[in-house]
Amino acid sequence: MPSIVFVVIAYLIGSLSFAVIVSKAFGLADPRSFGSKNPGATNVLRTGKKLAAALTLLGDAAKGWLAVFLAAAYGPAYGVGEAGIAAVALAVFVGHVYPVFFGFHGGKGVATALGILLALNVWMGLAVLATWLLATYMWRTSSLSALIAAGFAPLYGYTILGSRSLSLAVLLLSALLVWRHQSNIRNLLSGRETRIGGKSRPGDSPPE
């Protein structure tokens, strides 16, 4: 029962869509109504409000970190083990992707996933972040960088975490993130994915 409580709380925390919340606070259009229609920091940045985009990024990452931190810090006192913490990690990510407070229309989860990984193990999270940054520097494509980082995350998790339950959670989280990027994968394969700083062409997919 305690594990279920932490999982539900994690899902509700994940359901706080900071792209929508921050946009409303700044008097901006709902990010689900323009651009890629993805409620994430990149789409909020299209409004020209860099502060709003930064707060969205920070909020989405922080909620992933907070949910896992709470479970890891306070869960063991109530009998919540590694399997329960793994479930919490997945629950907060699912909450971001399918937020109950916003019609189950959520983001793709890159920032939230990073927050989760940092909470599970800071070195693993930093390794994934470094992978994303290196891929971004090399190919200048946001979605490709996210996919590459997601591909390496389970390897880092298996090597660093030393826990079957937590490693499995990282694998499932990465699989969900890749699945959420289906449209980007199609555009990458067809050469229509927009590069960072590049101009969109007819038929291009907006960067996510």
| Residue range 53-75: mean pLDDT, rounded | 98
* CA distance linking residue 89 with residue 120, whole number of Å: 8
Task: Give the H or E element holding residue 140.
Answer: none
Cα dihedral 33, 29, 206, 101 sign: negative
Residues 6+ apart with CB under 8 A from 143: 181, 184, 185, 187, 188, 193, 207, 208
* CA distance linking residue 118 with residue 186, whole number of Å: 29
What percentage of the chain carries pLDDT values higher than 90? 88
Answer yes or no: is pLDDT of 167 > 60. Answer: yes
| Residue range 93-112: mean pLDDT, rounded | 96
The alpha-carbon radius of gyration of the chain (Å, integer) is 17
| Residue range 120-140: mean pLDDT, rounded | 97
Do 91 and 24 contact (CB within 8 A), yes or no?
A: no
Q: In the chain, what is the straight-line distance between the N-terminal and C-terminal CA atoms, in Å?
A: 37
| Residue range 126-151: mean pLDDT, rounded | 96
Answer yes or no: is pLDDT of 208 > 60. Answer: no
Report pLDDT for 194: 81
Average per-residue pLDDT for the chain: 93
| Residue range 165-171: mean pLDDT, rounded | 98
Distances (CA, A) of 32 to 8, 102, 138, 181, 196: 25, 10, 29, 16, 20
* CA distance linking residue 77 with residue 63, whole number of Å: 22
107 pLDDT tier (thresholds 50, 70, 90): very high
| Residue range 135-148: mean pLDDT, rounded | 95
Report pLDDT for 206: 43
Answer yes or no: is pLDDT of 154 > 60. Answer: yes
- Cα angle 198-57-80, degrees, rounded to a multiple of 5: 140
105 pLDDT tier (thresholds 50, 70, 90): very high
pTM of the full structure: 0.93
